[in-house]
Every structure is written in structure tokens, then in C-alpha cells.
Amino acid sequence: MKKTKITLHPSYVIGDISPRLFGAFLEPIGSMVNGTMYNPKHPTADEQGFRGDVIEGLKKAGVPAVRMPGGNFVSGWRWKDSIGPKEQRKQNLDLAWGQFIPNDVGHDEYLQWAEKIGAEAMYTINLGTGDLNDAIDIVEYTNFPGETYWSDLRIKNGHKDPYGVKVWYLGNEMDGPWQIASYDKDPRGYGILAHEVSKVMKFTDPSIETVACVSSCPFLTHYPDWDRQVLEQCYESVDYISLHHYHSAPVGDIGALMAGVNAYEDYINTEIALSDYMKTMYRSKHTMMISLDEYASSWREPKKASWGLNGRLPASTFYQFDPSKKFIHHDPDNMAAGGPPMLTGEVVSAVANASIGLLMLRHADRVKIGCATGGLSMYCASNHDYVWKGASYYTMSELHELAKGKSILPVTETDTYHVDSYAIDDQNQYADIDNVPYVTAAAAYDEDKGELNVFVCNADWEEEHEFTMDIRGFGDYKLVENLVMADDGSMERNSHDNQTLHCPRPVNDATFENGIVHTVLHKISWNVFRFEKAK
Ligand code: AHR
């Protein structure tokens, strides 16, 4: 049996844990909005057509923040066509996803839905076809109290109080050659635009925070120089940079899936280094924070890939002008158009994605926002009729509930493994991945409440680990609960009829003596250790 040891001490403080770390990302693709969030024909639909079962499911899960309304979609979305009486709204085309956008879910509905699920709305503005005026007007409409055209219009449209949106994303993936009005070829141009837009938005509402795009994926040829050039222009006027990455593994290759944690670590470290270089260059007092607002580790069927480019593709790869393309109408009551994404149905995927959550906690001093893609389904699995708790409901909601206070560095001694290079498709080509840790951890310490919560993912699919955890430095603490959810090898998923097939269950296997825990970590497992200060 392999051995893993973790040492924790209250002086190993990384930083304050942001309440926005375990959020979700929402975009009207397939049935994510039309069908899941919104279906006026659903038996639980409310007066706005929102599904009540989804609202309740997300409330129960405690999703803290949602980045909306996209995604690539937003770069062509005219928010002004989506407000006011529904019968007067315009139906537009979404060029990013080849769909009709009827705008029955519009700007106000997105924000009011967020209010209903009790989550903070984090809003992405259109910097593709949108301009500086749109940016000023949207902040005025959304956040200004009244006595201007746009704020009075919000009041007329039924929302007297300002929405108070705090976090604003300055476009989506503006480097991506696929993006409408991409700045792939002009990082300086986007940097200047982001700077100017951020300025006018903050002139309108000085309490807001803004997020600039950097490379939307570490596979792109221009990464990370695009990012450097953007930051040169807007370092002082924005508060966060937006990172996106989707880690993919061939179906069934657990080692490759779990290795996502190394890819995210490299990406985050690179962006921190770049930001700090800018800070020094400008002799600035401002420290750039990180928003990892689209992420997921998921299985994908490998396609034929052209080796040799190592995933660093020329922009022309992304242009697809297909004369046979048909724009899709999404009927919210018919999910056949593409069901909700189920990226994370089984325990293996839940553990792989939870390990990204732990990584964000280990960077808690810099990573302040996290949004899981398919985040609604990670928190609340659903189909046309029902919602239920999948395995990732438990990891996400426990992280949200228990990761509070300060993040403490878990010094982790564990074996590592190697993943041979592999390709999923032309873009997703991985070089060898070295030194992937089997066991990763994070710890949250709330000194005032006398609570220490330690989260441990064991990615090892072959062996259990003899596990020791030394918390002697905390003094007089007792172990009050040890929760474990482990893979049973079946790859079965929870369903509406069986929501606890996989769920963390309290176990009494661990011994805790003189500040040291001894137990065994099951293969592919999610483990939570809750300690409280002895009274
Ligand atoms: O989640 C799907 C897409 O992935 C989003 O629209 C975009 O931001 C990213 O490339």
C-alpha cells in the first residue's frame, strides 16, 4: 500500500478564501437555459417560466455565484433587444452556436433568476459587437438608482432597486479566433479597449470590479504572449483576469483525467507570474487576482488528430463556413435539441473536478473566483422532468459550505505518476505529464469559530493509501467527522430514483491521537475531515 502524509500548521496561511470560489457558469447552449433554467410548461414553473425544481435544487446546493449570460454567445448578443415587454422583444441569431435567440430569457430574467437561486450574478458584457456606449448603458440600467434614461427604464420594466452587480467581465475569450470580433490578432487593441471600457464602467459605478480576458486556453499558439500584451494596456484598470481551460481525457483513462490538476496548476502559475511581472514593470501597488471562470475535467472520445503541432494551432483552424448549416430553434419543453451537459456524472469525475477546487484553495491568495462549466449540472443534475443530486453535488456543496475562513497549506508527501502524451483532437494534444500527485488536499481554517476542515482527494485508481495527517500545530482540536465518498468501480451514476448511490458517508475508521490522524484513503475517493476546537 502506498503512503501519504499531510502536515498542517496554523501559521501556513495561504490567504482568505473567497466566497465566489465554487460558482457556476451559465450560457444558453442547448438546453442549459431553454429547458433547464427556463421551461414555462414544466409543472414547477413559476410566473416567469423558471423551473422551480431547478431553483430549489440550486438553492439547496448553495451555489454562491453564477457567471452569465455566456460564453461565446454574449459576443453577438444585443442585450437591449432582450428587455421590456416580451412581445416587443426581437428574435436574433446567435452566430456563435448557430441558434435562434428569442430573448424570452433576457437581461432582467438572467439577473432575477440569480436572485431567486440566492446567487450573486457576475455579468459578461458583449465586447464583440458591443461598444463603449453599450457598456456604459448596461451598468446604468443594471446598477444606477434612477433619474437617467436607462435606470428609469429598469424601474419601468419592474425592478425598482438596482441589481447591484459587482463583478463585470469585459467580453468573453476575446483572444479566441472563433470569437465574434476576436482580438486574436490584436492583443494591444483588446487591452486598450478593456482599459477604456473598465474606466467608463467604473466612472458609472465606482463600486464595481472588472475582469479582463487573457488567453482562453493554454493550447493556443499565442499563449501567453497575448496575455502579456493585454496586461500591458489594462493592468491598472482591471481587478481580475479571466482564465478558461477544459481538461480532456480519453474515456476510461483515469490517470489522464486526474492529471488535469497539473494543467490547471501550470496555467494559474503562468498567469500569476505574468501579472506580477506587470506589477513590477509599472511599480504598481495593485495585485491582479484570478478568475478561473470556465473549467472542467471531462472524458472525451479521441478523434483523429494531426500530430506535430502539439496543439498549437493556427487561427485558420477555427473558421468553419459550412453552407449546410441550419440555425436551431430550442423549444424549452423539448430537450432533444441537446440535453444538459453531464460532464461529471460518476465519482471519478466528481473527484477529478473537486481536485481543481482544492487547487483553487491552494491558490486562495490569488484565485478569487471559480465557475465550473456545466456548473448547474455539477450542482444539480436534471432532465426534462426532474432534478437530482449527482456525485459532484456533494463535492461542490461541501466545498462551498465548509471551505470558509483562511486557506492553510497542506504540506503533502505523496507518490506521483506519469501520463504519456496523448491527443483528443487537433487542439487538445498533451505532451507527457510528469509528477502528477496521487493525493491532493486543501484546508480551511476559521480560527474564530474554532473550525478546521481538511479536504483530500485520492486520485489513485489502483491502490489505497495508508494516510497520516499531522495537525499537532493547532493544539487542542478534536476530529468531529470524517466523510468519505469512494468510487466502487461501477461507473454508475446517481439518478432521480437513487440520489445517494454515491454520496459522502460518515465513517469511523480514522484514529486521532495526539494531533495525528491515521486512516486509509480508499481508491478514487473524496475525503473530508472536520475538526473542532475542544471546549
Ligand atoms: O462552454 C462552451 C464555450 O466554451 C463557451 O461559450 C466559451 O466561453 C468556451 O470556449
CATH number for position 144: 3.20.20.80
| Atom from ligand 1 closest to the CA of residue 96 | 6
Residue 433 domain-assigned (yes or no):
no
Helix extents (H) in 304-414: 347-362, 375-379, 391-402
Mean pLDDT of 328-336: 85
201/46 Cα distance (integer angstroms) = 33
The closest residue, in CA terms, to atom 8 on ligand 1 is 71
Percent of the chain whose predicted confidence (pLDDT) is above 70: 97
Residue 364 domain-assigned (yes or no):
no
Does the bond joining 102 to the residue before it have cis omega, within 30 degrees of 0? Answer: no
DSSP designation for 534: -
Q: Ligand 1 within 6 A of 172 CB? A: yes
CA of 417 to the centre of ligand 1 (A): 30
Q: How many domains does the chain have?
A: 1
The pLDDT value given to residue 338: 47
Residue 59 domain-assigned (yes or no):
yes
The closest residue, in CA terms, to atom 9 on ligand 1 is 71
Q: Is 51 helix (H, G, I), strand (E, B) or coil?
A: strand
Mutation pick for ligand 1 pocket among 75, 184, 242, 244 (CB with most ligand atoms within 8 Å)? 244
Please write the tens of the pLDDT for every residue from 53-97.
Answer: 999 999 999 999 999 999 999 999 999 999 999 999 999 999 999
Q: Ligand 1 within 6 A of 182 CB? A: no
| Atom from ligand 1 closest to the CA of residue 72 | 6
Mean pLDDT of 454-481: 98
| CA 446 to chain centroid | 24
18/4 Cα distance (integer angstroms) = 28
Which residue among 173, 346, 398, 451 is the active-site one?
173
Q: Ligand 1 within 6 A of 227 CB? A: no
Residue 200's CB is within 10 A of a number of other CB atoms, namely 13
Confidence category of residue 311, pLDDT binned at 50, 70, 90:
low
Residue 350 domain-assigned (yes or no):
no
| CA 388 to chain centroid | 20
The pLDDT value given to residue 344: 58
Dihedral angle at the C-alpha atoms of 46, 47, 50, 56, nearest 10 degrees? -30
| Atom from ligand 1 closest to the CA of residue 217 | 10
The parent domain of residue 163 ranges over 18-342+369-385
Confidence category of residue 507, pLDDT binned at 50, 70, 90:
very high
Residue 165 domain-assigned (yes or no):
yes
Comparing 16-20, 21-25, 306-310, 404-408, the range with the smallest average pLDDT is 306-310
380/393 Cα distance (integer angstroms) = 6
Whether the Cβ atoms of residue 6 and residue 441 lie closer than 8 Å to each other = yes
Residue 42 domain-assigned (yes or no):
yes
Q: Is 135 helix (H, G, I), strand (E, B) or coil?
A: helix
* 294 catalytic residue (yes or no): yes
Confidence category of residue 489, pLDDT binned at 50, 70, 90:
confident
The pLDDT value given to residue 219: 86
Q: Ligand 1 within 6 A of 215 CB? A: no
| CA 351 to chain centroid | 15
The closest residue, in CA terms, to atom 7 on ligand 1 is 71
Confidence category of residue 336, pLDDT binned at 50, 70, 90:
low
Here the contacts of 152-157 (C-beta below 8 Å, separation 24 or greater) are 153/83, 153/84, 154/108, 157/83, 157/84, 157/108
Question: Which grid cell is 520?
Answer: 486509509
Residue 153 domain-assigned (yes or no):
yes
Q: Ligand 1 within 6 A of 72 CB? A: yes
Please write the tens of the pLDDT for every residue from 244-297.
Answer: 999 999 999 999 999 999 999 999 999 999 999 999 999 999 999 999 999 999
The pLDDT value given to residue 343: 53
Please write the tens of the pLDDT for every residue from 344-369.
Answer: 578 999 999 999 999 999 999 999 99
Q: Compute the mean pLDDT over every residue in the chain, rounded to the nearest whole number.
A: 94
Q: What backbone torsions phi and psi does residue 461 show, to the nearest 5 degrees?
A: -95, -5
* 115 catalytic residue (yes or no): no
Residue 6 domain-assigned (yes or no):
no
The pLDDT value given to residue 314: 73
Q: Ligand 1 within 6 A of 70 CB? A: yes
* Residue matched to cell numbers 494534444: 429
- String of b and e for 146-174 (b: at least 16 CB within 10 Å)? eeeebbeebeeeeeeebbebbbbbbbbbb
CA of 152 to the centre of ligand 1 (A): 33
135/145 Cα distance (integer angstroms) = 17
Mean pLDDT of 303-326: 78
pTM > 0.85: yes or no: yes
CA of 31 to the centre of ligand 1 (A): 15
| Atom from ligand 1 closest to the CA of residue 173 | 8
